[in-house]
Amino acid sequence: MQIKRQTVGLIVDDSLMRVYVAAPDADGTYPGILFYSDIYQLGRPITLLADRLAGYGYVVAAPEIFHRLEPIGTVIEPNDLGRLRGNDDARRTDIAAYDADAVAVLDWLNADGRVASGQVGTMGFCIGGHLALRAALQSGVNVAVCCYPTGIHDGKLGRGIADTIERLDELSAQVLMVFGTLDPHVPPAGREKIFQALSQAGVEYETRLYDANHTFMRDDGYRYDSAATDAAWVDIMTFLQQNLGVAA
């Protein structure tokens, strides 16, 4: 499916938040996805993932997660310095600010005429995987796809300790967790803690494990795994189509 792209600006807490939007080019209504990047914001490896999702028939809205700290349009380079910078931005962002951003983008999706009523989900990578799960605590979110989400098991997200894992009983969304078995940031004990918490909260969830490292879907790094990425896309799209729906 061919897509079109646009950039919109939303004001949240008196800060201009750039949102990259990719959507099917054909007229119609489609499910909407709040789409979160990793700590490097909206560089081409991330917008390619957003574009790919849009091509399956989704309106995808990806915010700059550090808009309060970085100039609009900032792409953080995925190198040693960029890793320090992105992690520092994450550390200095209030958890309540992430929540406010989620509400703003979800409101925008629900007001957009291309988004089918009642068909809204979230998806994200690394810190964005955590943000996708946390955003699904908001009402009206049907699904959350969390790709190698960091910080859920230990509360690391922003300034302070995130209470995401303690609030899982508030979820009405169905959840897909995607992990690489070689991921050092979410080791087996961390994954098991997440799965146990989801089960205890009565959340409907699925998990997919691949023989891959952290950020294995990001195609500009040494940990990129094309075979695992292709397999993950099949599983992700099956999950979304079964639990969120397709274009009307």
User: Is 35 domain-assigned?
Assistant: yes
Tokens at residue 213, please?
A: 């490292």
User: Is 153 domain-assigned?
Assistant: yes
Task: Please report, for residues 11, 40, 65, 95, 190, the alpha-carbon distance to residue 15 in angstroms, rounded to integers and kept in the order given.
Answer: 5, 19, 11, 15, 34
| Residue positions annotated with a catalytic role | 126, 183, 214
Measured CA to CA, the distance from residue 175 to residue 110 in angstroms comes to 20
Domain total of the chain: 1
Digits of tens for pLDDT over the chain (248 positions)? 999 999 999 999 999 999 999 999 999 999 999 999 999 999 999 999 999 999 999 999 999 999 999 999 999 999 999 999 999 999 999 999 999 999 999 999 999 999 999 999 999 999 999 999 999 999 999 999 999 999 999 999 999 999 999 999 999 999 999 999 999 999 999 999 999 999 999 999 999 999 999 999 999 999 999 999 999 999 999 999 999 977 65
User: Is 130 domain-assigned?
Assistant: yes
User: Is 248 domain-assigned?
Assistant: no
Task: Please report, for residues 135, 156, 169, 208, 246, the alpha-carbon distance to residue 172 in angstroms, rounded to integers and kept in the order given.
Answer: 11, 23, 8, 20, 20
User: Is 49 domain-assigned?
Assistant: yes
pTM here is 0.97
Residue 156 belongs to domain with CATH number: 3.40.50.1820
Range of the domain at 212: 3-243
Given the DSSP bridges, would you call strands 15-24 and 3-12 parallel, antiparallel or unpaired? Answer: antiparallel
Instruction: Give the phi and the psi of residue 42 in degrees, each rounded to 5.
Output: -95, 55
User: Is 26 domain-assigned?
Assistant: yes
